[in-house]
């Protein structure tokens, strides 16, 4: 019997590529079918394909990307001090409020962000209540700015006002600094838009009691090595975005003896140490600026397609690319988060993706390192296998692996890092982010956690802008 006859006398087994309609029809006929999810590069968009073709295996781009990721990898962030935002953040002044995500006007801000701005103005003593705060803003007395454009990052609403204490992180390899407020803990907190009297009182305590005590303790150190803590925590089940139990514990252990050496009163010491001990998310506000200081070192490399910022303001998602401008954002409407809701809440209650904390994923930890943090799936949903798959998939869209941040469950493979705009468009694989969900109404707070992806449009806009700038430049050479 010929090979052809043998083939046609066997049960049909089909591999279907592309639209699943053929698979569904074959299954109705009892035919064993495997579906391969495939789509053409760049979704078949001719403009994007032209840009991809132009920069494919481009020596200048490859060299620039290697330089950018080497700078990021070599960065060594230390916590060196704490100070008031107005005294340390570049461009900060007495009438300025910083917020998470790409730049946004007051009238366009999501509910939690507006609530947090109101709370900040009350905290600053610039307004006595919500009505006065709104009147002040509407009179044009307040200037708003993006945290990321001021070497700063902020979780959720990300509001930073002049009198708020901020951690000062120094990248000792390159000399640049990054800043972040103190994590308030869970419950009713400013970052979710709450501005009740207890929220304001906590902010004042952080400024008047906690920050001075931490400052005294930090003076006794040679700086706290955040890179080392993150590396250790990743080996202990953290991913340093939504799970910071190990990292906070390591920081607590590192600092306790220094606190005990200060001249702080016993009651103050007990209060300050208990605050860190009881706040499992304390280290988030250190991992974020550590990532920021590292990524900023890799920004500004001509021809580099490496993403150095991913940030959300509750309305828009924005990215920045190393080879493009400091204030050049590529934005699209932020997505809603898919995951687990706290009892009594649903999708109808949630605001869109919010916060600067995706700086961790930009660095290759957070969602990119979920495979090494099995416990995180209890918080964001899914199975352990899903977390591992997410981590493995991220290698397809990144330039390199970060041996500084190894993932034990992947045989200590370095976490994927250096998101490449070209690879995102070519593969249609979007970066994975695990994150908390905020209620759309200011002050209610966190209502769940889950998984979200940036809009593909951000990367499409970025690649086309990159092509316009560097494609024309090369064509004219």
CATH number at residue 460: 3.90.1700.10
What is the predicted pLDDT for the residue at 160?
99
Would you place residue 187 in the very low, low, confident or very high pLDDT band (cuts 50, 70, 90)? confident
What is the predicted pLDDT for the residue at 474?
67
The distance of Cα 460 from the centroid of its chain, to the nearest Å, equals 20
Least confident of 217-226, 291-300, 323-332, 434-443: 434-443
pLDDT digits (tens, 9 = 90+) for 200-212: 999 999 999 999 9
235 has pLDDT over 80 = yes
Tell me the C-alpha to C-alpha distance, in Å, between residue 66 and each of 53, 231, 362, 365. Answer: 20, 22, 16, 19
pLDDT cut 90: percent of the chain above it: 82
**Domain, as residue range, for 189:** 74-289
426 has pLDDT over 90 = yes
Same domain, 241 and 330: no
1 has pLDDT over 60 = no
Q: What's the pTM value of the predicted model, to 2 decimals? A: 0.92
What is the predicted pLDDT for the residue at 3?
63
Q: Which of the pair, 305 or 187, is modelled with greater confidence? A: 305
DSSP state of 349: G
Same domain, 131 and 166: yes
Once rounded to an integer, what is the mean pLDDT over residues 320-339?
Answer: 96
Once rounded to an integer, what is the mean pLDDT over residues 427-435?
Answer: 96
What is the predicted pLDDT for the residue at 7?
58
pLDDT digits (tens, 9 = 90+) for 349-391: 999 999 999 999 999 999 999 999 999 888 888 889 999 999 9
Same domain, 137 and 179: yes
What's the mean pLDDT when you consider all of the chain? 94
Question: 240 with 233: CB under 8 angstroms?
Answer: yes
In this structure, what CATH number is given to the domain that contains residue 123?
Answer: 3.90.1710.10
Which strands sit side by side in the sheet containing 77-84, from one edge to the other?
177-181, 165-171, 77-84, 224-225
Same domain, 241 and 334: no
Same domain, 338 and 416: yes
Once rounded to an integer, what is the mean pLDDT over residues 15-33?
Answer: 78
Same domain, 94 and 235: yes
70 has pLDDT over 60 = yes
Same domain, 324 and 379: yes
Same domain, 284 and 334: no
Would you place residue 291 in the very low, low, confident or very high pLDDT band (cuts 50, 70, 90)? very high
What is the predicted pLDDT for the residue at 272?
98
What is the predicted pLDDT for the residue at 275?
98
What is the predicted pLDDT for the residue at 20?
74
Same domain, 362 and 381: yes
What is the predicted pLDDT for the residue at 381?
82
Structural domains in the chain (count) = 3
Same domain, 271 and 409: no
What is the predicted pLDDT for the residue at 431?
98
**SS3 state of residue 20:** coil
Once rounded to an integer, what is the mean pLDDT over residues 299-319?
Answer: 98
Once rounded to an integer, what is the mean pLDDT over residues 90-96?
Answer: 98
pLDDT digits (tens, 9 = 90+) for 395-415: 999 999 999 999 999 999 999
Domain boundary among 274, 289, 304: 289
Q: Which of the pair, 128 or 446, is modelled with greater confidence? A: 128
Same domain, 65 and 80: no
What is the predicted pLDDT for the residue at 186?
86
Pairwise CA distance, residues 454 & 430, whole Å: 7
Question: 151 with 89: CB under 8 angstroms?
Answer: yes
Structure tokens given for 473: 């430049």
Same domain, 269 and 407: no
What is the predicted pLDDT for the residue at 8?
63
What is the predicted pLDDT for the residue at 6?
66
Selection from 197, 211, 221 nearest residue 271 by Cα = 211
81 has pLDDT over 70 = yes
């Amino acid at each position: 019997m010929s090979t052809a006859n043998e083939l046609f006398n066997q049960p049909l087994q089909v591999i279907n590529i592309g639209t699943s309609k053929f698979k569904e029809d074959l299954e109705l006929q009892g035919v064993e079918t495997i579906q391969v999810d495939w789509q053409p590069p760049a979704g078949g968009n001719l403009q994007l394909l032209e840009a991809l073709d132009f920069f494919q295996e481009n020596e200048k781009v490859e060299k620039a990307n290697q330089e950018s990721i080497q700078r990021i990898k070599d960065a060594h962030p230390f916590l060196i001090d704490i100070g008031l935002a107005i005294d340390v953040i570049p461009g900060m002044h007495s009438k300025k409020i910083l917020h998470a995500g790409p730049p946004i006007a007051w009238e366009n801000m999501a509910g939690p962000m507006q609530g947090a701005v109101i709370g900040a103005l009350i905290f600053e003593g610039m307004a006595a209540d919500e009505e006065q705060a709104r009147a002040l803003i509407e009179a044009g007395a307040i200037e708003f700015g993006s945290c990321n454009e001021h070497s700063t990052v902020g979780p959720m609403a990300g509001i930073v006002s002049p009198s708020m204490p901020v951690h000062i992180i120094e990248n000792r390899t390159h000399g640049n600094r990054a800043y972040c407020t103190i994590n308030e803990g869970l419950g009713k907190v400013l970052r979710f838009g709450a501005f009740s009297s207890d929220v304001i009182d906590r902010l004042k305590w952080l400024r008047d009691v906690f920050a001075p005590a931490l400052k005294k303790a930090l003076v006794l150190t040679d700086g706290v090595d955040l890179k080392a803590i993150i590396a250790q925590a990743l080996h202990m089940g953290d991913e340093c975005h939504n799970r910071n139990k190990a990292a906070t514990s390591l920081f607590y252990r590192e600092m306790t003896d220094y606190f005990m050496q200060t001249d702080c009163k016993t009651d103050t010491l007990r209060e300050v140490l208990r605050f860190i001990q009881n706040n499992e998310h304390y280290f988030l506000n250190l991992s974020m600026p550590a990532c920021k200081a590292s990524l900023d070192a890799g920004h500004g490399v001509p021809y580099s397609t490496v993403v150095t910022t991913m940030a959300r303001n509750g309305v828009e998602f924005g990215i920045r690319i190393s080879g493009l401008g400091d204030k050049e954002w590529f934005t699209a409407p932020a997505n809603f988060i898919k995951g687990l809701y706290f009892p009594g809440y649903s999708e109808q209650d949630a605001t869109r993706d919010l916060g600067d904390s995706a700086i961790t994923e930009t660095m290759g930890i957070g969602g990119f390192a979920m495979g090494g943090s099995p416990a995180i799936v209890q918080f964001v949903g899914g199975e352990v296998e899903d977390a591992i798959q997410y981590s493995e998939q991220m290698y397809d869209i990144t330039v390199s692996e970060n041996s500084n941040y190894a993932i034990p469950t992947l045989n200590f493979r370095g976490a994927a890092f250096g998101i490449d705009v070209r690879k995102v468009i070519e593969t249609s694989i979007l970066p994975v982010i695990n994150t908390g969900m905020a209620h759309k109404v200011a002050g209610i707070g966190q209502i769940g956690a889950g998984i979200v992806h940036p809009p593909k449009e951000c990367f499409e806009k970025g690649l086309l802008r990159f092509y316009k700038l560097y494609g024309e430049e090369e064509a004219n050479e």
